[in-house]
Structure 1
């Protein structure tokens, strides 16, 4: 997939899905027709109703215009017509992206599987298909897809990277490290280096420090935060609390709103038994973001550790209110009853 095509896909994928509720699948035809007869769509609609020669191209252009106006259901209809008239690569990509936006991933998957057969040299379809397999929980199919891509081209660094992320998600740490290392060797960019370093940090491997220092060495503006944060994770993992806190403080100096750095610093202090200091740090997290569930949870942990059960329960409840899936907060509430 070209950088332009991949950018288009992720921009489309990140658009608000609110249009879906307004333009449900199989919406009112009269209402749809009324929209298409109004500006800015009217001119293209008139062309389609007339003797226009390139109807596929007009459907495609109207689909793009509808998409830019968040009318994704209508856009999908136009992309479908364009695809049926002229099944080319860009139409396939745009049609599949739009199907994903309007929560029809299985249709998008079937389309992309067809596109892969029609256009085997276009890796864009494979990349998008892998993303959709993951979206619907088909991890085995995604892994097989990446293996097929790498069998066809072992230098495809994007496939190595995506495979590594999938292996990390499925807790195949050894496989993830191997795949991400291969991706970084082929394309030594910061994104790959930091993903690799993060896994090394979690596994207490000192290569995390080397990779982070390598990235920091190229940071002439001294603005990067992630390498410092990862170094902090590594030092915390091996019990070097002082060095860990130094790294988290460096993160905070570069971005005082970086809540995760406060949290990790506070956790180090908490495990050192410095509950009062930890509490002050955790309180900063909810000052920075009053919807940060982890901050409320760890304030609760500090209160629980110091015997203030009512206060602890209150903060656990606040954490759970912000994140309904916060299992540990729910368990601690039950335990304190």
Structure 2
């Protein structure tokens, strides 16, 4: 989203005026276009499967299938081509035939995706269960089944699926990581932490460690510092700034302001474009009532990323505290222009207009 500066307003008004002038004509043309598209869609729906498959771009493959009806690769190739052209219903038949000719894991996953596109989730579930019975060690099958259960609103079944996977492969850290991610999405933070802790014990690596550290930080658990220090010691994939930011956020939330500023400064030193680090540092200074210093930090954040609604909002907060209501109003309005759902900015505007 962009900020509409005052210099842009004449152009914006001109565009709106011109739009009003030709809106009637455009509406007329749009109605005609919609009618034409509807007629095209109706004609497309009336086409028989035989006619579609015997015409380009499918005709060559269809001829080959007639000559070699047991060739799995031909059905799969045509299914993919049909899918690319939004012919998902027709593609279903080819995916099914390819699967029946030679059941393979990668074909099953493609077929499952197709079944979801044509709104047949229960068939997708049944196919995945069949596949898991045959290939219990394939993590993609377990993961996909849990995802579908989640999409269907069957969250208990989704979690049970991960538990079943864990029973079959209890030393697989991905099982516990995936379960932790799902539980996080379901807002069951305590259970998510348990799952991610298990994952990290099995394989203490960056991505499950960061996920666990984020939950520790969100719940103000002091374990976040120990875990972050552990991640920093063995950082091999350039996650240092993320870890430092988590530490700084924890120190800020627990009012250990000197330590928080130290971590945010380190983030900024390592990456001057780390906008969130500027904003969190500025909030610390704001909480300490150092409004002039905080304003400088938020201004820098807005310079680094001028689409950051938070940067403009906190600049407004500082101006409000400094008694500069006109500047506060301008910046609250900028924040709201960038984020229409920014209720705190909207409330700030109301305060400034009283």
TM over 0.5: yes
Measure how far apart 1:293 and its partner are.
2.3
Q: Which runs of 5+ in 1 are unaligned?
A: 1-21
> CA 1:222/1:117 → structure 2, altered by over 3 Å: closer, same or farther?
closer
Which of 305, 308, 331 aligns to 2:324? It is 308
Matched, 1:216 2:232: yes
Which of 43, 64, 69 aligns to 1:53? It is 69
Tell me the number of residue pairs that the alignment of Structure 1 and Structure 2 aligns: 305
Which of 115, 131, 152 aligns to 1:119? It is 131
Which of 190, 199, 204 aligns to 1:174? It is 190
Which of 244, 254, 259 aligns to 2:275? It is 259
Higher relative contact order (CA 8 A, sep 6+): 2
Q: TM-score, normalization: structure 2?
A: 0.72
Residue 206 of structure 1 is matched in structure 2 by 222
> CA 1:64/1:260 → structure 2, altered by over 3 Å: closer, same or farther?
farther
Q: Secondary structure of the equivalent of 1:73?
A: coil
1:314 & 1:200 partners in 2: Cα distance?
37
Residue 165 of structure 2 is matched in structure 1 by 149
> CA 1:73/1:320 → structure 2, altered by over 3 Å: closer, same or farther?
farther
Measure how far apart 1:185 and its partner are.
0.9
Q: Which runs of 5+ in 2 are unaligned?
A: 1-36
- Once the two structures are superposed, residues 115-137 of structure 1 have per-residue CA deviations (whole angstroms, 9 ceiling, x without a partner) of 23211224422202333444566
Judge conservation of contact 2:82–2:90 (CA < 8 Å) in 1: no
Residue 8 of structure 1 is matched in structure 2 by none
Instruction: Determine which structure has more spread, i.e. the larger CA radius of gyration.
Output: 2
2:232 & 2:192 partners in 1: Cα distance?
23
> CA 1:325/1:172 → structure 2, altered by over 3 Å: closer, same or farther?
same
Q: Secondary structure of the equivalent of 1:314?
A: helix
Residue pairs, 1:34-53, within 5 angstroms = 37-38=56-57, 43-48=60-65, 50-53=66-69
Measure how far apart 1:152 and its partner are.
4.2
2:313 & 2:233 partners in 1: Cα distance?
36
Q: Could you list the runs of 4 or more consecutive aligned residues of structure 1 that deviate by over 6 angstroms after TM superposition?
A: 24-27
Q: TM-score, normalization: structure 1?
A: 0.76
1:98 & 1:318 partners in 2: Cα distance?
44
- Once the two structures are superposed, residues 169-194 of structure 1 have per-residue CA deviations (whole angstroms, 9 ceiling, x without a partner) of 33333222111100111122111111
Q: Secondary structure of the equivalent of 1:28?
A: helix
1:272 & 1:153 partners in 2: Cα distance?
51
Measure how far apart 1:321 and its partner are.
3.1
2:195 & 2:87 partners in 1: Cα distance?
40
> CA 1:296/1:78 → structure 2, altered by over 3 Å: closer, same or farther?
same
Q: Secondary structure of the equivalent of 1:225?
A: helix
1:313 & 1:239 partners in 2: Cα distance?
29
> CA 1:118/1:215 → structure 2, altered by over 3 Å: closer, same or farther?
same
2:238 & 2:193 partners in 1: Cα distance?
27
Measure how far apart 1:26 and its partner are.
9.1
Judge conservation of contact 2:61–2:74 (CA < 8 Å) in 1: yes
Residue pairs, 1:1-337, within 5 angstroms = 28=44, 33=52, 37-38=56-57, 43-48=60-65, 50-64=66-80, 71=84, 73-74=86-87, 77-78=90-91, 80-87=93-100, 88=103, 89-97=105-113, 106-107=119-120, 109-120=121-132, 121=136, 122-134=138-150, 138-219=154-235, 224-337=240-353
Judge conservation of contact 1:92–1:111 (CA < 8 Å) in 2: no
